Amino acid sequence: MSDQSVIEAQQRRSSRMQTIYRPLILAALALFVLVAGRLVSESLPSWIAVQTVLSLGMFLAVIAFGQGLVMLTGGLDLSVPGVIALSASTVAVWVSFMDGSLFVGVLLALGVSLLFGIVNGVLVSVLKAPAFIVTLAMGAVLEGFSLFITYGRKSPESPELLVTLFSGSGKLFGIGIPALLFFVVGIIGFIIQARSRFGRNVYLLGSSLEASRIAGQPVNFIQISIYAVSGFGSGLAGLMLVGFSGNAQLSLGTEWLMPSIAAVLVGGTIIGSGRGFWQSTITAGLMLTAITIVIQSTGVSSGWKSVLYGVVVLVALLSTRSDIGRRRRKKISQDPL
Amino acid sequence: MNTKFGRIRQIVTDGTGRAVIFWLILMTIWLSLQSTQGMGVDARLIQSYLVLALPLIVASIGVTLVIIMGQFDLSAAGVIAVVNVTIASTLGSWNPLLVVVLMMALGGFIGLVNGLFVILGKLPAIAVTLATLIILQGLAIVILPQPSGKVPPFLVDGVRAPFVAVGIIVVIIIAWMLFKRSRSGLYMFAIGADPEALHLSGLPVKKIQLKIFVIAGALYGLAGVLMSASLTSGDANAADSFLLTTFAATAIGGTAFVGGRGSAVGTLFGALTLLAIPKVLFVFGVSDWTQKVAFGLLVLLAVVAGAFSSLRKNRESMLLAPYSTPTEGEPITATKGGNA
Amino acid sequence: MKRNWKVAALAVIAASSLALSACGGSSDTADAGADSSAATEAGADNGNPCGWADAPRAGGDKYVVYMSSLNIGNAWQEEAVNLGSAEALMPPYSDCVELRTERTEPDPASQISQIQSMTAAGADAIVTFALSPTAINATFKEACDAGVTVVIYDATVTEPCAYNVSYITAKPVGSDIPFMGYNAMAALIDMMGGAGDIFVAHGVAGTSVDNVHYLSALAAIDQLAPDMNILTEWDGNWDSAQQQKETTKALASNPNVVGIFCGYGESGCVKALKAANKEIPVTGETSQYFREQLLAGWPGVSIGSPPAQGGIAMKLALGVLEYGPDAGIPHDIEVPFKVVTKDTVMVCEEDTYTEGCNVFPAGVVGDENTADIFNPLLPEASLTSAKTGVPPAGLVAVPFTVDEMKSFEQDPSRRYITREACPEGWTQGKLPEGLDGCVQS
Amino acid sequence: MNVLEVSGLEKYYGDSVALDNAGISVGAGEIRAIVGENGAGKSTMVKVLSGIVTPDSGEVKIDGSVLELGVPKASRSAGVFTAFQELSLIPNLSVAENLLIAELPTRAGVVSRRAVQGKAAKILREWGVRDLDPGLMVGQLPLSAKQRLELVRTLSQNPKILILDEPTAALPDTDWLFRHVRAARDNGACVLYISHKLAEIGQLCESGTIMRNGKIVGDFSPTNFSHDEIISAMIGRSISMAFPPRVAPIPADAPVLLKTTDLTVGNRVRGVTLQVREGEIVGVAGLEGQGQRELFYGLAGASPVTGGIIEVAGTATKISNPRKALKAGPGIALVPEERKREGIFADLTSVTNISVPALKKLSVAGIIRRGPERKLAMEAGRDAHMPEEYLGRDVGRLSGGNQQKSVLARTNLTGAKILLMFDPTRGIDPSAKLEVYSTLRTSAANGAAVLFYSTEIPELVGLCDRVIVMYQGVAVAEFEGEQITEDAIMQTAVGNASSATAAQGEKA
């Protein structure tokens, strides 16, 4: 059984590669990028920069969480901007026009987001409609709804509390609250995805829907709850962003969809498989955020900036490819010894 | 099953057939309401509707091929943007045929790059093409910082000339019928269903995959030319919406996102449907927020209906599966099926 | 069992989509009702409604006029389309015009499709915001050829047959130097004491409006403060959320900045600065939030695209219908705009136009709404119109005379910027502001 | 002079060795058996010879000329043709298109259906296969038909070197195959025959080679080696290939845990009445596609039951999905047919695979306690003879045997008393098979009622207390105790029994 034990050793390594090394590499890259930023701006690296990366990374993480779960099970959630817009305008309108309490407003917003997440889930799991297109269409519908509730009104303003919490004006021990929240989000996300029963069910479903079914897993329920969580996450992000930017508007979420998908992919999650880890996703989010900050302050024109960004993403993908470690080891094993 | 009812049932459960039906319904609503409102229906209205649909049709078919092959391609919008600005900024007065060839070659080249990263680089296609999309959209702005330029007039007038659009659509359908039955076509479907088996059969799977990526890229290139012809100018942002609409068209056309199954003809009608929806909403006088909602719901309706009926179809096929006696006895009889 | 409720699900979707279309329809007919109620017997010497130049294309006793903007939930877009609609619903126009409002999804194909639909539906005039200066041209041409009057507001198009009503190349009220970008940058340089490094925010990259603002701003730097550096640039997409995100990033890499050339979505820039508690000069457009900040003493210059252009464009369109296409109404109108600083900011009486006022009392409109709905060319504007698209009772439109319109014609030297061509007698050359323009040959 | 000369093949996957200086030489007109456990390197060698896998080093000579490695075309043109274990057929292409996949005849670039089907029909007839309609989608075929198609496709190339990898895994009548293999041999082809079924090897092969851990560990002559000797050589330690002893005959009053009356599933299972008592292992025999799969899946709630009654522990129960099945009375658990697709979670570790049914009771406030999970999985694994060192490993990387063991361990963890074992020993190596047998017997001894289907009739004979034979969706015969013989089962399975003809008529 010698080969078996060898395989085992390799397995240990490659799984550590996934759960520990890759996130560390990505985090290190994020820092490195900020340091290398020196080349384009002499005020980099700086404590402010780190804080900014963390707080923007926090928003990204909240969205990327649900997105990641959906992608693990072979889908994509394109309704993110729609949900964000809807939840944001719900809370804003409720508080600034209905003079409702913030608490109720938040519950309403999250409830609505959850609801439409569930609708997505039902369409995908029960009616077996392609997630890509269901969530795309749902996104359009939700944008319509958020237009409707803000329609003909003066653009609704955000509740004060949300602003102080998420605009970065509020601080705790001199650190912006969003930056601190990043770690909270990170830990909660890790517990849910890596340690909880729900997270386990997601991995099982992602690894093999048929096997889950035969093993007596409530597959439809799980799939629905995944989209529900994704909806809820986007709703939460909506609340945070409405606090961040001070008022609700349709475009609140549009600039976050692609980054969330990119973070999950660069984090090494493979669509529709049981492979992918939360710690990699969020660290990938940090790295991408850091990169955008540095690229932004290069002198090149905006066109070249996005070219640069795309190239960096490609490089990041290549450099953190999951089988790269194995390939190196193969070369070693080829020499006569 | 060979009763008339059975055949109708078959059309409805078949992705393509359903797309056609859905499209016909929308067209009837649109045109009938149009004719009752002020101006009647003239050929030019339909003509311009088709011209507007051409780029989406061609691009979506590219996406469809890649999806049938079991891969994913987000780069369409990027290729179209680059082609559009290249034509408008530099090829404005070139020989139109040369332009078409060049731009298809450009698209094909980008498809080749995508394919190489996916197949040799062993990277997930969606990630690679997302990156190339970002790069290409950036390049488009670099090439043409602000909308301007012109498109070879022959192209513009050519595409608008009566019956050209219809002609192109007919050509597309015929081309698909042939390609589907060509070796590459069969291999494409095969790879989508089971690349490993094809590999074991000793066929060059990677080469075939690469080929499809290139063909898709070339189609995006062609779509870019067609879009340029209908915009008559260059605009780096004009193609942005293709990123998602191409997939919507594919899905409405009844192509499952699992690979191995699908039809370009279905996609063609999916695209036509997508462009018919705004027309219907217009004649209904739907504007402001309801516009987005109604659009979303109609797309959902189209896709979910498809998923729903194919769900029932699968269930039936399970129950109607044939008996087999492996001993040399009476032959196995079952519904014969071609691809798509 | 299971199947049944799947059927139900389908049914629901189908039903609701139809229901929505229907209610959309009804909402529109409500508009129509609003003006037909005010309708009177269209009696006139030449038999046309209101005695205007040509008969309505679709026949009927009213001119069909479409007013369209982008369906992106953007405050500025809504106000522009509302002011335009209100114009057509005021007497005397309300008796002559059937107004139909539309929204365009932000992609050229949708707009092309929509313009074609409008033309086919018998439009006499189409007043719209154009997604691209060039991409829609062919469609506008078709509309013109079909006898439709096409008027574009804010952003311009190069199609000669269309009328451009825009501020892009205009001079601010009480200034001899054209271009918003130039004036804004000049004001910024002035506030910074002519030195220091800045951020520059673009709008949507790849659009002509953005390019004109940007290039004229650069020209100002060259001429007024050549040693000033641009530390960072970004695409603000004319969106405050995006502006705030980008400003936050920029501040992270360059906290030592002393001024921001922000443009539309400026509230995002200011909010990001506040979060980093830096109070530095900012150029922005006309949001209520920004003007309130100026009122509170924030160092900044508010200078931007007036939504009144919507109303002005509508008046122009109706003028063309009234006097006929050959009455010599210029195809290029420059809409003047205001420059407001913390010294010149002045609170309006609610809902009325008092000379020189440029910000509403707190709480009357939202942060993102523009405070600048009033314009010398649109004295009949009102806050109600801007908010709802329906004019308050008793308000009467002030039609243009042909000469009035001529007096606001764009200076030929700047024609090249909006039309990519010079009028006869002019050839392409450099403008004093450093941009490509036309010079007398 | 040998036709095939293989020397010094080395192939590593990562740092696991698949081929370790493997060499073999086969002469013309020779049928060489290659035996070894899964993971011994047989399939890798096959793939190297077929040009599918490029070895890290080594050389292959055919008729003395060196073969270009890693190039399928080269291997084919050198006359090497292979029927693969994992059938290289494309589900969404027709029988004909699959048969001619490598050189599809085109007319003006278009593959004409008629030409292909004509050609295919001719080939099928030549090879004595009259029951396959060339127009059928391969995906719709039963496994046996697929295997036959794969074989015909290989044989019809008149190979110089014919490689058959587990050709009879799902093939009911081996005689058909042997006839053609011998014919090929007589035409001077050299044949590599890879199989776990030592009986067949005895019938067919003149010589044999044993592989272990990627090495060639020796040759043997099938005629004068005992199975036990061969197996010992394969796994490197001596075991005896015996079935666990039956316990004393099941008492007549033992409670009936599972009883069906006129059970129908679609039109695949047409009125099956059977019962399984506590502690009993009831075998189900039948050629591929006689409805046994639907029977098992119907009972497990994985296929919709369309008629009849299912009584679980005496109470009639409606089973609409696997979840309900697990909850029904003492619980019904299924070990599915397609291990890779329906059985294992390939990307996840064995622990994760095993602990699935226990997750609820393992977790506190929704959080899984990992210590207890590992412990539980370890125990369950031990009961299923799963070596502990594999528990932390992705199941997808384990040998078929260990994959199956993790599935059995999970099944045991469900605590279900009614076990539906659908061909649990398919494609796993002898030692693993033994362990599976004993697992089944133990759970039966612990009061489980086991329904056991296998394609290998000897297993049914050796393991079961009763055997039901299915033909055309009906249970056509039932044997008990001494009546259970391979011959009796085979006779009824192919429909020769009187009851079978009745079934025929019923169908028509």
Q: Torsions phi, psi of C164, nearest 5?
A: -100, 120
Q: Residue D294 above 70 pLDDT? A: yes
Percent of the residues in chain C that have a pLDDT greater than 90, as a whole number: 46
Nearest CA in chain B to A137: B296
Please count the other Cβ atoms lying within 10 Å of the Cβ belonging to residue B88.
26
Tokens read off for C47: 């038999």
Q: What is the pLDDT of residues A243-258, one digit of tens each?
A: 998 888 888 888 899 9
The more confidently predicted of residues A185 and D129 is: A185
pLDDT band at B7 (very low <50, low <70, confident <90, very high): low
Of B293-302, D102-111, D498-507, least confident by mean pLDDT is D498-507
Q: What is the pLDDT of residues C227-266, one digit of tens each?
A: 898 999 999 988 888 999 999 999 998 998 999 999 899 9
Closest-CA residue to B230 (of B165, B279, B170, B145)? B165
Sheet hosting strand D269-277, strand order edge to edge: D269-277, D256-265, D307-312, D315-316
Following DSSP, what letter does each residue of D401-467 receive, concatenated? HHHHHHHHHHHHHTT-SEEEEESTTTT--HHHHHHHHHHHHHHHHTT-EEEEE-S-HHHHHHH-SEE
Please count the other Cβ atoms lying within 10 Å of the Cβ belonging to residue C219.
21
Q: Chains near C, with 3+ CB pairs < 8 A?
A: A, B
Following DSSP, what letter does each residue of C107-123 receive, concatenated? SHHHHHHHHHHHHHTT-
As a whole number, mean pLDDT of residues C176-186 equals 92
Q: What is the pLDDT of residues D260-281, one digit of tens each?
A: 999 998 888 889 999 999 999 9
pLDDT band at B325 (very low <50, low <70, confident <90, very high): very low
Percent of the residues in chain D that have a pLDDT greater than 90, as a whole number: 37
Q: Residue C211 above 80 pLDDT? A: yes
What residue ranges do the domains of chain B occupy?
16-32+58-310+329-335
What local confidence, expressed as pLDDT, does residue B12 receive? Answer: 60
Q: Does B179 touch chain A (CB under 8 A)?
A: no
Mutation choice for A interface testing from C20, C211, C249 by most A CBs within 10 A: C249
Q: Does A10 touch chain C (CB under 8 A)?
A: no
Q: Residue D15 above 80 pLDDT? A: no
Length reported for chain B: 340
- Cα C101 to Cα A126, A134, B10, C65, C322, distances in angstroms: 40, 30, 43, 8, 20
Please count the other Cβ atoms lying within 10 Å of the Cβ belonging to residue D157.
14
Q: Residue D105 above 90 pLDDT? A: no
Percent of the residues in chain D that have a pLDDT greater than 70, as a whole number: 95
Cα D305 to the center of its chain, rounded Å: 26
Rounded CA-CA distance C20/B284 in Å is 10
As a whole number, mean pLDDT of residues B281-307 equals 85
Q: Does domain A2-334 have CATH number 3.30.420?
A: no
Quick check: bond before A45 cis, omega within 30? yes
D342 Cα to chain B: minimum distance (Å): 17
Phi-psi region of B262 (alpha: psi -120 to 50; beta: other; left: phi over 0): left
What residue ranges do the domains of chain A occupy?
2-334
Q: Torsions phi, psi of D373, nearest 5?
A: -60, -50
Contacts of A169 in chain C (CB under 8 A): 274-275, 277
What local confidence, expressed as pLDDT, does residue A337 receive? Answer: 27
Beta bridge partners of C97: C63
Looking at this protein, which amino acid is placed at residue C96? Answer: C
Would you tell me which residues 152-181 of chain A have a C-beta closer than 8 angstroms to some C-beta of chain C? 152-157, 167-169, 176
What local confidence, expressed as pLDDT, does residue B8 receive? Answer: 64
C42 Cα to chain A: minimum distance (Å): 32
Percent of the residues in chain B that have a pLDDT greater than 70, as a whole number: 86
As a whole number, mean pLDDT of residues D399-417 equals 90
Closest-CA residue to D183 (of D145, D156, D202, D146)? D156
Q: What is the pLDDT of residues C25-69, one digit of tens each?
A: 333 433 433 343 333 333 445 678 888 888 888 888 899 999 998
What local confidence, expressed as pLDDT, does residue A323 receive? Answer: 52
Contacts of C64 in chain B (CB under 8 A): 38
Q: What is the pLDDT of residues D56-70, one digit of tens each?
A: 999 999 998 999 998
Closest-CA residue to D290 (of B316, B325, B320)? B325
Contacts of A223 in chain B (CB under 8 A): none
What local confidence, expressed as pLDDT, does residue C432 receive? Answer: 83
As a whole number, mean pLDDT of residues A181-195 equals 95
Q: Does C237 touch chain B (CB under 8 A)?
A: no
Q: Does A319 touch chain D (CB under 8 A)?
A: no
Relative to beta strand D57-62, strand D4-13 is antiparallel
Contacts of B149 in chain C (CB under 8 A): 134
Q: Does A293 touch chain C (CB under 8 A)?
A: yes
pLDDT band at D496 (very low <50, low <70, confident <90, very high): low
Q: What is the pLDDT of residues C338-348, one digit of tens each?
A: 899 988 888 88
- Cα D186 to Cα A246, B155, B335, D158, distances in angstroms: 86, 68, 40, 12
Q: What is the pLDDT of residues A97-131, one digit of tens each?
A: 787 888 999 999 999 999 999 999 999 998 888 89
Q: Does B189 touch chain D (CB under 8 A)?
A: yes
Largest Cα–Cα separation, chain A: 78
Relative to beta strand D418-422, strand D449-453 is parallel
As a whole number, mean pLDDT of residues D358-383 equals 90
Buried b (16+ CB within 10 A) or exposed e, B185-224: bbbbbbbbbbbebbbbbbbebeebbbbbbbbbbbbbbbbb
- Contact criterion met (CB < 8 Å) for C132 and B146: no
Q: Residue B21 above 80 pLDDT? A: yes
Lookup result for tokens 């502001």: C433
Q: What is the pLDDT of residues A263-309, one digit of tens each?
A: 999 998 888 888 889 999 999 999 999 999 999 888 888 889 999 99
pLDDT band at A173 (very low <50, low <70, confident <90, very high): confident
Rounded CA-CA distance D444/D247 in Å is 9
Q: Residue B331 above 60 pLDDT? A: no
Which ipTM did the prediction report? 0.87
B112 contacts A309 by C-beta, under 8 angstroms? no
Out of B32-46, C253-267, D217-231, give the one with best mean pLDDT: C253-267
Q: What is the pLDDT of residues D278-287, one digit of tens each?
A: 999 999 998 7
Q: Residue D500 above 60 pLDDT? A: no
Q: Residue B204 above 50 pLDDT? A: yes
Q: Residue B332 above 80 pLDDT? A: no
As a whole number, mean pLDDT of residues C385-389 equals 88
Length reported for chain C: 441
Q: What domains, with CATH codes, occur in chain C?
A: 26-167+307-336+375-410 (3.40.50.2300), 180-303 (3.40.50.2300)
C222 contacts C285 by C-beta, under 8 angstroms? no
Q: Residue C296 above 50 pLDDT? A: yes
Mutation choice for B interface testing from D68, D101, D176 by most B CBs within 10 A: D101
What local confidence, expressed as pLDDT, does residue A298 receive? Answer: 86
pLDDT band at A14 (very low <50, low <70, confident <90, very high): low
- Contact criterion met (CB < 8 Å) for A134 and B123: no
How much is the mean pLDDT over chain B? 85
What local confidence, expressed as pLDDT, does residue A168 receive? Answer: 78
Nearest CA in chain D to B192: D92
Relative to beta strand D207-212, strand D31-35 is parallel
Q: Residue C150 above 90 pLDDT? A: yes
Q: Does D287 touch chain B (CB under 8 A)?
A: yes
How much is the mean pLDDT over chain D? 86
Whole-model pTM: value is 0.89
Q: What is the pLDDT of residues B227-272, one digit of tens each?
A: 999 898 999 999 999 998 999 999 999 888 888 889 999 999 999 9
